[in-house]
Amino acid sequence: MGKTESCGCVLPNSTELYGKEMATRDAYGITLVDLGKKDSRVVVLDADLSCSTKTAKFAKSFPERFFNMGISEQDMIGTAAGLALAGMIPFASTFAIFATGRAWEQIRQTVCYSNANVKIVATHGGITVGEDGATHQALEDVAIMRVIPEMTVIVPADAYETSQSIYFAANYYGPVYIRLGRAKVAPVMPENYKFQLGKAHIFNFGKDVNIIANGLMVSEALKAAEILNKEGISTGVANFSTVKPLDEKALLKIAKSSRLILTAEEHSIIGGLGSAVSEFISENYPVTVKRIGIRDSFGCSGSWKELLKFYGLTSENIINTAKKYLKE
């Protein structure tokens, strides 16, 4: 575990991002510039995707602290580790599939085994990459980051939470992986929300069903819960934006009040949030858990809205799954 170190950054007026419907990558771009103004140790690396990851905003504001590494993710992660070990606070960004897949061993060996203070903020996580198709859709990134010792894994739900988690990462000492998305997401976090590492945000507890979600599935979970509650099925929703370390206390509390737990994530059901929840639940307080996510397959091309429907990442599928398994 890293220790918290002050980097001279106070939380900005992040209420600016409160309530905004915005892609989490856009919130990242805005927040990075704020961070860059406040702390000269913040440096940013990208691998030829700065316009898509939105680090280009930082590059324009602080060209001397921005390093375009070209199309070389392994070198980018290694260089970021070196910058961190020389006292800088590097944010390294590219698409999630390349950041975590192409450079996995560099992240394990050089970053985490050295406990280097590197922040890997990957955009284009999940199926909502859309038309580019399977090669560019990271459905395994949370799994392969979560498995590395020393790594912290965060999947924010909206722009407001993204901004807060980016500030958190800058002020925290140790490796952090933050997974962001391409598509616009609805605002879900309340105005008084304060991101805390390893602390789930519980919107409400359900007596029948509790939905544990992160990323854009929080929004779908809230829609599903509203309908289920109206139909007399007591349904709660929790945002587990920190996948690692998992909020075990909240999870135990949820398990104790649930007949059924549903997990919902824009990721493979293998290795991600659903797995993390199932691992804890099965060892500590067995309750039926059903996982909603990509069911062990590659993605495909299509508009992101179509893809969410195609893979069942919708409030409708959450509702149907809840009803089906409550009957059993």
Q: What distance in Å separates the CA atoms of residue 328 and residue 102, rounded to the nearest whole number?
A: 43
87 — alpha (psi -120 to 50), left (phi > 0) or beta? left
CB of 116 to another protein, least distance (A): 7
Q: What burial class does residue 192 get, using C-beta atoms within 10 Å of its C-beta: 0-12 exposed, 13-18 middle, 19+ buried? A: exposed
HSE-CB of 177 using CA atoms within 13 angstroms? 32
Nearer to another protein (CB atom), residue 5 or residue 316:
5
Measured over the CA atoms of residue 167, residue 172, residue 173 and residue 179, the dihedral's sign is: negative
CB crowding 31-57: b at 16 or more within 10 Å, else e: bbbbbbebbebbbbbbbbbbebbbbbb
CB of 151 to another protein, least distance (A): 14
Question: Is the N-terminal amide bond of 286 cis, ω within 30° of 0?
Answer: no
Nearer to another protein (CB atom), residue 116 or residue 255:
116
CB of 89 to another protein, least distance (A): 10
Strands annotated E in 147-268: 152-154, 176-179, 184-185, 201-204, 209-213, 235-239, 242-244, 260-268
Nearer to another protein (CB atom), residue 73 or residue 161:
73
CB of 145 to another protein, least distance (A): 18
Note the residues at the interface with another protein (CB under 8 A).
Answer: 43, 64-65, 67, 69-70, 72, 74-75, 77-88, 90, 105-106, 109-110, 113-116
Nearer to another protein (CB atom), residue 81 or residue 222:
81
- The continuous run of DSSP H or E covering 91 comes out as strand 89-93
Helix (H, G, I), strand (E, B) or coil at 273: helix
CB of 82 to another protein, least distance (A): 2
**Identified catalytic residue from 5, 73, 131, 306:** 73
Nearer to another protein (CB atom), residue 111 or residue 217:
111
Which residue, among 186, 182, 52, has the nearest Cα to 129 in the 3D structure? 182
Nearer to another protein (CB atom), residue 67 or residue 304:
67
Q: What distance in Å separates the CA atoms of residue 70 and residue 48, rounded to the nearest whole number?
A: 5
> Is 73 known to be catalytic?
yes
CB of 146 to another protein, least distance (A): 20
- Non-local (6+) Cβ contacts of 320 within 8 A are none
Residues recognised as catalytic: 73
